Structure 1
């Protein structure tokens, strides 16, 4: 991947690092003997020591306890496959992780990997992006080391006109992760903005490769402002934005949030494949900030006003105008008026 730096080495090393971290976190007093690690990994004690040294080089605080083994004292807030996958409980999404220090766009990387045959559930995550993508051709501000910038490869057996349903998949998963990792109450603004206290903290962007009657793959792009500081937001933002740290008053552990998000997305996607769009639609509506509200929607050069009555089978916004007409909005910017 030209111009991109991958966080860790080969798959074997990543798996060994993941197992070591999982073992540390399962032990009550935190001390694990070299012999225990050697047997669990089926490697020599010398190889165990090399893995410990590698983890220390990544920023893990691991101390040697004389005659007893090793203790994990602290973990850095870094995004590596080993750190994210330790304790991750998923069927598909996150089964393969690509973690980058920096890239132009995780969606661009994921699209390329999908074109090359990457498996469904592959997740690309970066610490920073130089050309993060937002809706309608906008950019997504992507400073280093504070947020989640990720993209997920899906290969659902659905017709292309149903692909827009999956926009709601990632928005609901982000909302669930916020509920699980903070005391904040998220709301979703059609189609894909996640708000906290009226401020945008997350957005999603889906891209698709398809033939006439079938989807080849879909890329779910996700950006979540986790620990972004006020001074890191550009002055010319189109809409008020914030971060989970600002709204909660304290920093959020990014790895914990990402694990919660991937597990929620995996569960919601499994439900979508087995039960269809209905349950996902209800989960979105239950968190919608626009349902039943008077809104105006900028659609190209036009402005449409009305009360939101729902979303249809492909995710279009349904409005009842003041004249009593039913309007179906496929794309646009929504502003709540009441």
Structure 2
């Protein structure tokens, strides 16, 4: 019921709604309406009340909440179930547990803070309290194993488009999973699989976005940034999550329907490395060359000094 009250207030944020109108819309008592309003205020929502006018939502709270996110994504065709935690070790860990318990495609796990956020290649991700977006998306695509890495690039495009549209900042993608602003990392993506011998059981895409950070640990100060540091503005994280999910939903549907051909030019439009000299650090060696782009499978193409083009499936990329 609290979710429905919040949805009504948000849908009518430019006007006042009387307690009577809300109670009639939701078929509940005015006392129940007041209790839900009071609960929302305690969560940080700025809801004003004016005699003979009613209630009006002025500002959302800084803390995320399940009912807030549910009220925002109700029109989304893909994401329909939100699992929210104030504090977790990692949203990826929770998502894996949910898949094992039978979670459906379109489930998202969101937290206000992670104590052991997971990054690529076993790295950790600094996940400060109520400053960023820490979430995992559960997908169950009917695709071949070899296509699964393409979903990282689909997510990168969705994030780049949503963050750029909201912040006005140029968002660049560094293959395969980093998003940068002015050369500093603002977002990372971690894609993990659960699979049976003959099929993909689920794809879990972990997303970390530095949103309202003002400071970072000393060891990453020179390489990390946030939307707030770059733009000077605070951002509504729930609104940003909604934008990201909306972008991802249509791109994912287009990908499943038409393949990677639509995603490839969108990814390349945000690519930081195409045409530049890069170092690809792989598990056992490193290659130096010019990044030509990606092929139809999302694999990075790197041309060395002899003219030979290498296909890079997994590596850390450094632009030299």
In structure 2, the partner of 1:10 is none
Superposed, 1:93-108 pairs within 5 Å as 93=79, 95-108=80-93
In structure 1, the partner of 2:208 is 223
Q: Is the Cα–Cα contact under 8 Å of residues 159 and 213 in structure 1 kept in the other structure?
A: no
1:224 CA displacement: 0.5
1:147 CA displacement: 0.4
Q: Is the Cα–Cα contact under 8 Å of residues 180 and 260 in structure 1 kept in the other structure?
A: no
In structure 2, the partner of 1:92 is 78
1:67 CA displacement: 3.0
Number of equivalenced pairs: 319
In structure 1, the partner of 2:43 is 58
Q: 1:55 to 1:176 in 2, by over 3 A?
A: same
Q: Is the Cα–Cα contact under 8 Å of residues 13 and 56 in structure 2 kept in the other structure?
A: no
**CA offsets per residue over residues 126-154 of structure 1, 9 Å max, x none?**
11101101111100011111001110000
In structure 2, the partner of 1:161 is 146
Q: Secondary structure at the match of 1:59?
A: coil
Deviates more, 1:136-145 or 1:302-311: 302-311
Unaligned runs of 5+ in 2: none
Q: Is the Cα–Cα contact under 8 Å of residues 169 and 181 in structure 2 kept in the other structure?
A: yes
Instruction: Return the alpha-carbon distance in structure 1 between the equivalents of residues 96 and 226 of structure 2.
Output: 27
In structure 2, the partner of 1:181 is 166
Instruction: Return the alpha-carbon distance in structure 2 between the equivalents of residues 158 and 166 of structure 1.
Output: 10
In structure 2, the partner of 1:18 is 3
Q: Secondary structure at the match of 1:46?
A: helix
Q: Does residue 268 of structure 2 align to residue 285 of structure 1?
A: yes
Q: Does residue 257 of structure 2 align to residue 274 of structure 1?
A: yes
1:299 CA displacement: 0.9
- Displacement over 6 Å in runs of 4+: none
Q: Secondary structure at the match of 1:156?
A: coil
Q: Secondary structure at the match of 2:113?
A: coil
1:58 CA displacement: 1.3
Q: Secondary structure at the match of 1:49?
A: helix
Which one of 111, 114, 123 corresponds to residue 126 of structure 1? 111
1:76 CA displacement: 1.2
**Could you say what the CA RMSD is over the residues aligned between the two structures, in angstroms?**
1.7
1:28 CA displacement: 6.3
Q: Is the Cα–Cα contact under 8 Å of residues 160 and 213 in structure 1 kept in the other structure?
A: no
TM-score, normalization by structure 2: 0.95
In structure 2, the partner of 1:35 is 20
1:17 CA displacement: 2.5
Instruction: Return the alpha-carbon distance in structure 2 between the equivalents of residues 122 and 266 of structure 1.
Output: 12
In structure 2, the partner of 1:304 is 287
TM-score, normalization by structure 1: 0.90
Unaligned runs of 5+ in 1: 1-15
Instruction: Return the alpha-carbon distance in structure 1 between the equivalents of residues 232 and 180 of structure 2.
Output: 16
1:61 CA displacement: 2.4
Q: Is the Cα–Cα contact under 8 Å of residues 13 and 58 in structure 2 kept in the other structure?
A: no
Deviates more, 1:150-159 or 1:64-73: 64-73
In structure 1, the partner of 2:95 is 110
Which one of 244, 247, 251 corresponds to residue 261 of structure 1? 244
**CA offsets per residue over residues 112-132 of structure 1, 9 Å max, x none?**
101111111111111110110
Q: Is the Cα–Cα contact under 8 Å of residues 118 and 124 in structure 2 kept in the other structure?
A: yes
Q: Secondary structure at the match of 1:266?
A: helix
Q: Secondary structure at the match of 2:48?
A: strand
